[in-house]
Amino acid sequence: MLAIIRCRNLLSSRLLSKNVKITIYRTIILPVVLYGCETWSQTLREQRKVRVFENMVLRRIFGPRRDEVTGDWRRLHNEELNDLYSSPTASACIRIPHHPSRTTP
């Protein structure tokens, strides 16, 4: 979380292109956030926390959008974020182990 606080101004800056902001996210923020994820408890709750954090960062990178109908500014929906950010999500890096007795043959 500290990584995003330190990079908040960079991700909101209009002076940097979206490609540069995504590069900052991939090379600085994401490794810090996912450091040691192999040792996490790997629950759905942890996976959701990482997904919420990632969506927060991506919303800051891509900024708000103007609604076509009302003309008001609005936040991007998760589906729109997934379309704009074509790389695999950070939450996909965290795998939840399956119980051997629950696997289908």
> How does pLDDT run across 23-74, given as a tens digit for each residue?
988 888 888 888 887 777 778 888 888 889 889 999 999 988 888 889 899 8
Q: CA angle 90-29-14, nearest 5°?
A: 110
100: pLDDT confidence band, cut at 50, 70 and 90?
low
What is this structure's pTM? 0.74
- For residue 93, the tally of other CB atoms under 10 A from its CB is 14
Place of tokens 């119980």: 99
| pLDDT given at position 42 | 74
Task: Say if residues 25 and 3 touch (Cβ distance below 8 Å).
Answer: no
Task: Say if residues 7 and 55 touch (Cβ distance below 8 Å).
Answer: no
d(CA 31, CA 45): 20
| pLDDT given at position 2 | 63
